[in-house]
Amino acid sequence: MLDYKSLLLALGVSAACLVVTLFGTWFSRRTDSFLLTLVVALALIVTGIFAYSSYTLQSGEMWVCMAYIFLVTGFSATYAASVQFRTGRKPWMLAAVLSILCIAVGLPPLLADLDGVGLIVMNVAAAALLVGTGWQYVAARREAPGPLCGMAILYALSGLSFVLCALVLITEKQWTLGQAPDNWAENLNLGVCIAGMTGIGALSLALHQWRMAAHHRHEAMTDALTGLMNRRALFEENGHRVLKPSTAVVVFDVDRFKSINDRFGHATGDLVLKLFAEDLRSGITPGQTVARLGGEEFTMILENVLPGRAEKVATDICRAFAARTIPVGDAILQCTVSAGIAVGSAGGEPFEAVLSRADNALFEAKRGGRDRVVVADYLRPVTVTGTRTSA
């Protein structure tokens, strides 16, 4: 029993250290709220481990019941943390429901001096919750395949070790023990859990760093005001492309934007840009691209479009925005937008060249009176297509 107690103590200390580490990690970036749920879960498990350690020293209903309650509650919260990670849902109701179910099934046998039956229930419940936790991370593996698949494997192995503990008690028909079980499965379970705890802690930290890097990259590639892709992201994604006639690039510019800022203030100007960004989003289908090039200039990339389709999309967006009424104090503001369109050539044309021709077409729209769409034809001079809307 000395070796078993040493392993149990090592598991408790390892889990306690992981609690401190993960709490510090969560505290550095509190948006990862699943880490806080995991910290609470591990704190419950640590309490359960030390209560079970007391049960190994002296038999008694109180210690085994305390260990059971804290352990199944901790494993339930661990599963809830994984669901929270995958879905973003608040975990506490799920953790409470699972805990109550586990306690309702396993606590009565413990109180009836059938501690072996109660421990079988605990091992089965722990196995199911740990395997379920691993499955949740597998389902979310697209975000960070390496750390998440590694965590899933460790959770599954830990769950399997609990299954072995239950099987030994069942095969040996140990329904009443009077003391903590002492067999090869219990020792294996502790060894696997110590290794699993260490690995899960390391992978959790790696996952946190992965998410931090992704968060910083997203911020670097997103326009802070509108939430659209920014110029840098647009060129990283499309700068290497060669566009065919089936791909159109549209460049939009809010008409007389400087006068809007001068007359109504920059807050109103920002609102105008946000509202136009909303119209851009609603004007595209999944897989299409919209971005803010800078200032009041935006772009849209339309894939697999038939002749005339890009012009219709741009025209509809311009008309919808011109029809907006924007309350500004006691006044009502209505704005218009000009657009230039260009498509790739039959032999293929670099993205930047198509964008430049779309920008030239936009210039023609501005010079032609604004509030209109101009299509730049690759083979013939620029033509103007009116999109007269309320100015």
Together in a domain, 60 and 164 = yes
**Residue 256 belongs to a domain:** yes
Report pLDDT for 380.
38
Question: Which is the catalytic residue, given 296, 311, 349, 364?
Answer: 296
How are beta strands 326-328 and 331-333 bridged, if at all? antiparallel
Report pLDDT for 379.
38
Which pairs count as long-range contacts for 29-33, CB under 8 Å and 24+ apart, including other chains? 29/208, 29/212, 31/215, 32/208, 32/211, 33/84
**Residue 285, exposed/middle/buried by CB under 10 A (0-12, 13-18, 19+)?**
exposed
Q: What is the pLDDT of residues 16-36, one digit of tens each?
A: 888 888 888 788 777 778 888
Report pLDDT for 95.
95
Tell me the pLDDT band of 72, cut-offs 50, 70 and 90: very high
Q: Is the pLDDT of residue 76 over 90?
A: yes
Domain count, the chain: 2
Where in the sequence is the domain holding 107, given as residue range(s)?
A: 2-221
Average pLDDT value for the chain: 88
Domain-ending residue, one of 174, 196, 221:
221
Q: Mean pLDDT over residues 80-96, rounded?
A: 92
The two most distant CA atoms of the chain are separated, in Å, by 94
Together in a domain, 146 and 250 = no
Q: How far apart, in whole angstroms, are the C-alpha atoms of residue 157 and residue 334?
A: 63
Together in a domain, 208 and 271 = no
Q: Mean pLDDT over residues 276-305, rounded?
A: 89
Q: What DSSP letter does each residue of 1-29 carry, written as one string?
A: -HHHHHHHHHHHHHHHHHHHHHHHHHHH-
- For the chain, give the percent of residues with pLDDT over 70: 95
- Selected residue with higher pLDDT from 79 and 11: 79
Q: How far apart, in whole angstroms, are the C-alpha atoms of residue 257 and residue 187?
A: 73
- Selected residue with higher pLDDT from 284 and 356: 356
**Residue 358 belongs to a domain:** yes
Report pLDDT for 17.
84
Q: How far apart, in whole angstroms, are the C-alpha atoms of residue 103 and residue 285?
A: 50
Together in a domain, 68 and 86 = yes
Report pLDDT for 78.
94
- The residue whose two tokens read 């030239």 is 360
Q: Is the pLDDT of residue 43 over 70?
A: yes
Domain-ending residue, one of 166, 198, 221:
221
- Selected residue with higher pLDDT from 386 and 187: 187
> Between 231-238 and 184-221, two packed helices, what is the crossing angle to 10 degrees?
110
Q: Which residues pair with 230 in a beta bridge?
A: 292
Can you give 106-171 as a three-state secondary structure string?
Answer: HHHHHHCCCHHHHHHHHHHHHHHHHHHHHHHHHHCCCCCHHHHHHHHHHHHHHHHHHHHHHHHHHH
Together in a domain, 152 and 29 = yes
Taking the CB of residue 302, how many other CB atoms lie within 10 A of it? 23
Q: Mean pLDDT over residues 174-190, rounded?
A: 88
Q: Mean pLDDT over residues 49-72, rounded?
A: 88
Ramachandran class of 370: left when φ > 0, alpha when ψ lies in -120 to 50, beta otherwise: left
Q: For position 377, which CATH number holds? A: 3.30.70.270
Q: What is the pLDDT of residues 104-117, one digit of tens each?
A: 999 999 999 899 99
Q: What is the pLDDT of residues 209-222, one digit of tens each?
A: 777 777 778 788 88
Together in a domain, 307 and 191 = no
Together in a domain, 129 and 78 = yes
Together in a domain, 214 and 237 = no
Query: Does residue 186 have an active-site annotation?
Result: no
Dihedral over alpha carbons 40, 43, 48, 53 (to 10 degrees) = 170
Q: How far apart, in whole angstroms, are the C-alpha atoms of residue 183 and residue 168?
A: 8
Report pLDDT for 383.
41
Together in a domain, 240 and 193 = no
**Residue 8 belongs to a domain:** yes
Q: Where are the beta strands (DSSP E) in 139-285?
A: 229-230, 242-243, 248-254
Report pLDDT for 34.
85
387 and 315 Cβ atoms separated by less than 8 Å: yes
Which pairs count as long-range contacts for 284-291, CB under 8 Å and 24+ apart, including other chains? 284/313, 289/229, 289/234, 289/237, 289/238, 290/228, 290/229, 291/223, 291/228, 291/229, 291/230, 291/231, 291/233, 291/234
- For the chain, give the percent of residues with pLDDT over 90: 56
**Residue 391 belongs to a domain:** no
Helix (H, G, I), strand (E, B) or coil at 178: coil
Q: Mean pLDDT over residues 337-345, rounded?
A: 93
Q: Is the pLDDT of residue 60 over 80?
A: no
Q: Which residues neighbour 14 within 8 Å (Cβ) at sequence distance 6 or greater?
A: 194, 197, 198
56 and 1 Cβ atoms separated by less than 8 Å: yes
Together in a domain, 245 and 214 = no
Which 8-state DSSP code applies to residue 222? B
Q: Mean pLDDT over residues 322-345, rounded?
A: 90
Tell me the pLDDT band of 387, cut-offs 50, 70 and 90: very low
Taking the CB of residue 214, how many other CB atoms lie within 10 A of it? 12
Together in a domain, 319 and 375 = yes
Q: For position 109, which CATH number holds? A: 1.20.1070
Report pLDDT for 361.
93
What's the pTM? 0.68
Together in a domain, 240 and 356 = yes
**Residue 165 belongs to a domain:** yes
Report pLDDT for 384.
42
Domain-ending residue, one of 221, 247, 275:
221
Report pLDDT for 391.
31
Q: Is the pLDDT of residue 96 over 90?
A: yes
